[in-house]
Amino acid sequence: MNITKTPFGQVDGKEVFQFTLENNGNMKVSIINYGGIITSLLVPDQTGKIDDVVLGFNNLSDYLLDHPYLGAIVGRYGNRIAKGRFVLNGKEYCLAVNDGENHLHGGIVGFHRVVWAAEEYSAQDGVGVELSYLAKDGEEGYPGNLTTTVRYFLTDQNEIVINYRATTDQPTVVNLTQHSYFNLKGEGCGNILAHEVMINADQYTAVDEGLIPTGELKPVKATPLDFTDFTPIGARIKALPGGYDHNYVLKPENSKPSLAAQVREPESGRVMSVYTTEPGMQFYTGNNLDGTFTGKRGVNYDKHSGFCLETQHFPDSPNHPEFPSTVLNPGEVYRQTTIYRFSTSR
């Protein structure tokens, strides 16, 4: 197992580095400390052929553009908050509005647009990089100084384990997630509509036209959102405007990471399994990719070039007391774990 650190450029005079973690199973993951972005993920297929299965860019300058969160850590609050407002302990907070009339993925300068402190580490069963960032009180409208740590860890079992931790000095709301776009055929190798997906959820959070939850949990059965059995992404996608962009209500078994989803790609035989401690997961099929961005192979990213499985608390939870709480108080510790495990079907 090995870790390499290479310069990747500068942002506002701050050094950006790329950390490449390599295990003994021919798997490599590269992460930069700008945005905590996964820039590359090399995984073998059923014949042993290695390919990069995440969308992204070859250089920092492209990541500095207004891209759709490719590979990034998003926060302080992943997903949407209605009208960029919420009330906490009787006080209303107004956040940056960057998605129509709503707040999305932490705002204009969210966690995806900052340089994190980074430190390599190793253990008996793997290698990793620890990223840390202090989001100051009032940043993007949020209350409290939030100290956040995200640990990426690559194991010999071809797992990327992501551990999140945060503390605050004032009551605030926190909902962190990882926003990689996956294509198990390989980055730049066409769309993801033939990928077969299973999501361990019987319900989803119903939303209005602005993708803000109504508060109702609806069953997926007999709808295009039913992935309780393996189903190709493209089988029913035309029944939905644009494609999938929905939060699924997961069925955690206990406080340990539980199976949230599995994805199979028939051609390569690659299988991706997602485990998490979180109560929800946003399934997004790259509906807004429109060919604007050119990826690592020189191929433009068209609609449905990748899919995201964003483990999270529910969207707009600060405005829905009936949802699992995203409030973090002084003296408490926010923790969550998500695991991406890669294997093959043969």
Amino acid at site 276: T
CATH code, domain carrying 245: 2.70.98.10
Residues ≥6 apart with Cβ < 8 Å to 247: 79, 204, 205, 207, 213, 280, 281, 282, 312, 314, 315
The per-residue pLDDT for 88 is 98
Residues ≥6 apart with Cβ < 8 Å to 209: none
Whole-number Å distance between alpha carbons of 190 and 179: 19
The per-residue pLDDT for 338 is 98
**Which active-site residues does the annotation give?**
179, 310
Cis peptide before 335 (omega within 30 of 0): no
The per-residue pLDDT for 254 is 74
The per-residue pLDDT for 78 is 97
* 139: helix, strand or coil: helix
The per-residue pLDDT for 189 is 97
The per-residue pLDDT for 328 is 98
> Do 260 and 162 meet the contact criterion of CB atoms below 8 Å apart?
no
For residue 78, the Cα-to-chain-centroid distance in whole angstroms is: 9
For residue 177, give the nearest of 162, 157, 199 by alpha carbon.
Answer: 162
The per-residue pLDDT for 124 is 87
For residue 116, the Cα-to-chain-centroid distance in whole angstroms is: 17
For residue 341, give the nearest of 276, 287, 297 by alpha carbon.
Answer: 276
**Encoded tokens for 294:** 């050119």
Q: Is 169 exposed, middle or buried (0-12, 13-18, 19+ CB in 10 A)?
A: middle
The per-residue pLDDT for 223 is 97
The per-residue pLDDT for 252 is 79
- Extract the residue ranges of the chain whose pLDDT is less than 50: none
Considering its fold, how many domains does the chain have in total? 1
Overall pTM surpassing 0.95 (yes/no): yes
For residue 118, give the nearest of 8, 276, 41, 2 by alpha carbon.
Answer: 8
Residue with tokens 């060919």: 291
The per-residue pLDDT for 253 is 76
Domain span at residue 304 reads: 2-344
The per-residue pLDDT for 255 is 81
